[in-house]
Amino acid sequence: MNNPAVLEQLISALRCLPGVGPKSSTRMAYHLLQRDREGAQKLAASLQQALDKLAHCDYCNNFSEHSACSLCQDSQRDKSILCVVEMPTDLMMLENTRSYQGQYFVLMGKLSPMDGIGPKDIHLDTLLKRAQDPAIHEVIVATNFTSEGEATAHYIGQMLKSRGIQVSRIARGLPMGGEIEYVDSGTLSTALLERKAVT
Amino acid sequence: MNNPAVLEQLISALRCLPGVGPKSSTRMAYHLLQRDREGAQKLAASLQQALDKLAHCDYCNNFSEHSACSLCQDSQRDKSILCVVEMPTDLMMLENTRSYQGQYFVLMGKLSPMDGIGPKDIHLDTLLKRAQDPAIHEVIVATNFTSEGEATAHYIGQMLKSRGIQVSRIARGLPMGGEIEYVDSGTLSTALLERKAVT
Ligand SMILES: [Zn+2]
Ligand SMILES: [Zn+2]
């Protein structure tokens, strides 16, 4: 091996990125050092800043620079309804429909026993506390219609209903196996409007 | 858009990586922040360190922490022969064959008019100076047998021969369109031994 140690360290560090193996981490390192040092500098700084400044909103669990994110601090929004999504991207997709004005809770994942991801890993204890806020009158579960998303919805439904909390699931307006991130606004909007109470 | 600014900055900064579009940069950012903050911290530090410490060897143009890399400083190696390769990976592949004991010059690319990469971008002026060192008796051109690698070899061959420097090309032991990085040691070793003088 004739690469300098700091180059080997960079190649190995790039492998923390999902989907990046030894060949592509090597190609990435050469590209950055050879053709885009400015981009590399920006990336190093952005990573450090994100690590230093980003935590989770105490209310919705989304990434936030403050203990309450701007959405949770928005007094214009409906405080009586809470929509549960898997990822921040899903929240943004729902916001883009402009058909929902309530609160959110971002699980930052989904139940996935195969990957060792259980109820604690998706912050269901925090969700339960949040859902028990007397201001909340309904929880809409908007996890994906994949098998893991459905299992997560079922688990959350049972957990909340057993505490007497009203829970609904967005309508299956999405195609089977569909993911919220990839669906058009109209379909998503219908799915929200046609939500059904969990029985 | 409801992402905090520092998160948006990170997502956008990740797009400096080759082959990373908006969807995968978003997935990468979430993964790092949610599941691998330690890896992200290491990546930020490694990037910064590589940018601060890595430059190019004055002799072979490979990445190096010093003005002369360890290979160029090795007094055991043959000073009379210079092998020109496209990328550091190619140099390492050649070293792995253990059948070459001379010097190297790493172009850090290849001629590619379509991408606006000309002779200056692959440091041919530096190569010319290096090849004119009286200690050098032969230059072996070991660029890939792709159309761009062949064009680069031709250009270098003409440039050096017109100055009376002896130039050879590694033998076409590699398959057509083959790249040095992906070939086995034996084939590469034969290609080196059977090199032919450029006529
Ligand atoms: Zn929030
Ligand atoms: Zn060197």
Spell out which residues of chain B touch residue A50, defining contact as CB-CB under 8 Å: 6-7, 9-10, 29, 32-33, 40
Joined tokens for residue B52: 């601060």
pLDDT score of B192: 66
Closest partner residue to B7 (CB to CB) among A17, A32, A54 is A54
pLDDT score of A39: 96
Mean pLDDT on A69-91 = 94
The domain defined by B75-197 folds into: Dna Topoisomerase Vi A Subunit; Chain: A, domain 2 (3.40.1360)
Alpha-carbon distance of A66 to B103, in angstroms, equals 56
Question: CB-based contact (8 Å) between A119 and chain B?
Answer: no
Give just the sign of the alpha carbon dihedral A20, A21, A24, A30.
Answer: positive
Question: CB-based contact (8 Å) between B34 and chain A?
Answer: yes
Residue A1 has pLDDT above 60, yes or no: no
Spell out which residues of chain B touch residue A49, defining contact as CB-CB under 8 Å: 6, 9-10
Closest partner residue to B6 (CB to CB) among A34, A36, A53 is A53
Which amino acid type is present at position B33?
L
ipTM of the complex: 0.75
Q: State the angle between helix axes of B22-35 and B5-13 in degrees (0 to 180), rounded to the nearest 10.
A: 120
Residue A189 has pLDDT above 90, yes or no: no
> Confidence band (pLDDT; 50, 70, 90) for A181?
confident
Q: Give the nearest chain B residue to A43 (CA atoms).
A: B13
Average pLDDT in chain A:
89
Residue A103 has pLDDT above 80, yes or no: yes
pLDDT score of B122: 94
Q: Give the nearest chain A residue to B27 (CA atoms).
A: A18
% pLDDT > 70, chain A: 89
Question: Parallel, antiparallel, or unpaired for β B196-197 and B167-169?
Answer: antiparallel
pLDDT score of A184: 73
Mean pLDDT on A84-101 = 88
Q: A84, A127 in Cβ contact below 8 A? A: yes
- What distance in Å separates residue B173's CA from the closest CA in chain A? 23
Residue A197 has pLDDT above 70, yes or no: no
pLDDT in tens, B6-24: 999 999 999 999 999 999 9
pLDDT score of A169: 84
Question: CB-based contact (8 Å) between B74 and chain A?
Answer: no
Ligand 1 centroid to Cα of residue B65, in Å, is: 46
Residue ranges of the domains in chain A? 5-53, 75-197
Closest partner residue to B44 (CB to CB) among A51, A88, A95 is A51
Q: Report the candidate in A18, A127, A33, A143 with the shortest Cα–Cα distance to residue A93.
A: A143
Q: Give the nearest chain B residue to A4 (CA atoms).
A: B64
Joined tokens for residue B79: 């000073």
pLDDT score of B37: 94
Domain B5-53 maps to which CATH number in 3.30.70.890, 3.40.50.2000, 1.10.8.420, 1.10.10.10?
A: 1.10.8.420
Q: Report the candidate in A70, A100, A74 with the shortest Cα–Cα distance to residue A85.
A: A100
Residue A130 has pLDDT above 70, yes or no: yes
Joined tokens for residue A39: 């981009």
Residue A115 has pLDDT above 70, yes or no: yes
DSSP-derived 3-state class of residue A40:
helix
In chain B, which residues have pLDDT < 50? 1
- Entry field: residues in chain B: 199
Secondary structure of chain B in the HEC alphabet? CCCCHHHHHHHHHHHHCCCCCHHHHHHHHHHHHHHCHHHHHHHHHHHHHHHHHCEECCCCCCEECCCCCHHHHCCCCCCCEEEEECCHHHHHHHHHHCCCCCEEEECCCCCEHHHCECCCCCCHHHHHHHHCCCCCCEEEECCCCCHHHHHHHHHHHHHHHCCCCCEEECCCCCCCCCCHHHCCHHHHHHHHHCCEECC
Joined tokens for residue A94: 């729902």
Alpha-carbon distance of A58 to A90, in angstroms, equals 19
Q: Which residue has the higher pLDDT, A9 or B185?
A: A9
pLDDT in tens, A16-53: 999 999 999 999 999 999 889 999 999 999 999 999 99
Question: Parallel, antiparallel, or unpaired for β A138-141 and A103-106?
Answer: unpaired
pLDDT score of A58: 95
Ligand 1 centroid to Cα of residue B21, in Å, is: 27
Closest partner residue to A7 (CB to CB) among B29, B32, B50 is B50
A 166-185 residues with CB < 8 A to B: none
Please enumerate, as own/partner, the contacts of B188-192 that have beta carbons within 8 Å and a separation of 24 or more. Answer: B188/B93, B188/B94, B188/B97, B189/B97, B189/B99, B192/B94, B192/B97, B192/B99, B192/B100, B192/B140, B192/B142
